[in-house]
């Protein structure tokens, strides 16, 4: 009996486990509460361990802790480019399909992703994907309506030059300068509450249609005039090759991966 009682009262130093637990959540995307016991943490300290992970920026669920769904969504879009909505529950760790779909809808509403129709399925794509605007969709629908009318009436057709000209309007890239206000707006929208800073790759991805070099130049200029403060990553080995490419170069070979919008109240 004494042995069982002492086992229940066993306490470990969570400081020695926290780094490893964070790394495991990052690698797996989701850590079940039952895995804490296997990691050597007594059940009585599970709540405290989960609380530490939550304070580190992870999300708590009924059965464990996960990388925030918004972050998982952006990582999935960066790695896969296109994610079928029907597969979100499998792609996002620690989330049921319904919750994953809700997270996708929120991302679309806030402008950090798009939903596109491909054949008979709907897919989630990043904002830097080439998509049609509402105006372009309306014009394309008009082209389809005219084609259908020609088929209905018989002995009617469309001029190839007219169709080609309209379709080329969809495919020709729009080159616009990246204004400082646009950059600051995106940085503000991508502030991560856990650190009070904006993760630069998030903003660069959102504005990638303007060209990554142009966005980098706008970020550097905004920092030069004091509208933002750019900060390097504490450890470059924490960034993937793709993320490094999205970060503007800093001094001594560093990459500027975090930004603070000056004058903005921080949490």
Q: Note down pLDDT in tens along the chain; length 267 residues.
A: 445 544 456 888 898 889 999 999 999 999 999 899 888 899 989 999 999 999 999 999 999 999 999 899 989 998 888 999 999 999 999 999 999 999 999 988 888 889 999 999 999 998 878 788 787 888 889 999 999 999 999 899 999 988 888 787 766 655 567 888 889 999 998 888 888 899 999 898 888 777 788 899 999 999 999 999 999 877 656 677 778 888 998 888 888 999 999 875 443
Looking at the domain assignment, is residue 165 inside a domain? yes
Q: Residue 85 is part of a domain; what is its CATH number?
A: 1.10.10
Q: Are residues 160 and 193 in the same domain?
A: no
Residues 59, 113 within the same domain: no
Note down the domain range covering 97: 69-126
Query: Are 158 and 118 contained in the same domain?
Result: no
**Given 23, 42, 66, which residue is the final one in a domain?**
66
Domain shared by 200 and 253, yes or no: yes
What SS3 class is residue 230?
strand
- Are 221 and 241 within one domain? yes
Contact, 258 vs 200, CB < 8 A? yes
The reply to whether 194 and 140 lie within a common domain is no
In a domain, 57, yes or no: yes
Do 61 and 73 lie in one domain? The reply is no
| CA–CA–CA angle 38, 39, 42 (5° rounding) | 80
Largest CA distance in the chain: 96
Rg (CA), the chain: 24
Place of tokens 């009318």: 149
| CB of 234 closer than 8 Å to CB of 164 | no
- 95 and 81 assigned to the same domain: yes
Q: Rounded distance, CA 202 to CA 168, Å?
A: 30
Q: Confirm whether 267 is domain-assigned.
A: no
Please tell me whether residues 242 and 209 are part of one structural domain: yes
156 and 120 assigned to the same domain:
no
Looking at the domain assignment, is residue 47 inside a domain? yes
Q: What is the pLDDT of residue 173?
A: 52
- Give how many domains the chain has, as a whole number: 4
Residue 265's pLDDT is what?
A: 44
Boundary residue ending a domain (30, 48, 66): 66
Are 143 and 165 in the same domain? yes
Does the residue 144 lie in any domain? yes
Considering the domain architecture, whether residues 91 and 61 belong to the same structural domain is answered as no
Q: Does 138 map to a domain?
A: yes
Asked if the structure places residue 121 within a domain, the reply is: yes
Examine residue 266 and state whether it is found in any structural domain, yes or no.
no
Torsional sign, CA 205, 246, 194, 187: negative
């Amino acid at each position: 009996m004494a042995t069982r009682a002492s086992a229940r009262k066993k306490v470990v130093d969570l400081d020695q486990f926290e780094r490893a637990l964070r790394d495991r959540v990052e690698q797996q995307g989701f850590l079940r509460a039952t895995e804490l016991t296997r990691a050597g943490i007594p059940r009585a300290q599970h709540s405290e361990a989960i609380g530490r992970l939550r304070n580190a920026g992870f999300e708590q669920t009924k059965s464990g802790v996960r990388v925030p769904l918004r972050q998982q969504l952006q990582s999935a879009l960066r790695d896969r480019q296109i994610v079928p909505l029907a597969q979100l529950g499998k792609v996002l760790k620690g989330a049921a399909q319904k919750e994953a779909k809700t997270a996708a809808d929120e991302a679309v509403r806030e402008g950090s992703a798009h939903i596109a129709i491909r054949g008979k399925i709907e897919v989630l794509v990043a904002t830097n994907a080439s998509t049609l605007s509402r105006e372009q969709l309306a014009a394309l629908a008009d082209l389809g309506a005219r084609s259908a009318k020609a088929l209905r009436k018989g002995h009617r057709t469309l001029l190839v030059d007219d169709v080609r000209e309209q379709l080329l309007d969809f495919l020709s890239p729009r080159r616009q300068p990246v204004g400082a206000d646009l950059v600051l707006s995106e940085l503000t929208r991508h502030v991560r509450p856990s650190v009070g800073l904006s993760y630069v790759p998030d903003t660069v991805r959102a504005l990638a249609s303007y060209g990554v070099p142009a966005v980098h130049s706008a970020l550097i200029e905004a920092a030069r005039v004091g509208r933002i403060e750019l900060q390097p990553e504490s450890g470059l080995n924490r960034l993937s090759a793709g993320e490094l490419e999205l970060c503007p170069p800093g001094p001594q070979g560093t990459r500027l991966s975090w930004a603070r919008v000056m004058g903005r109240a921080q949490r």
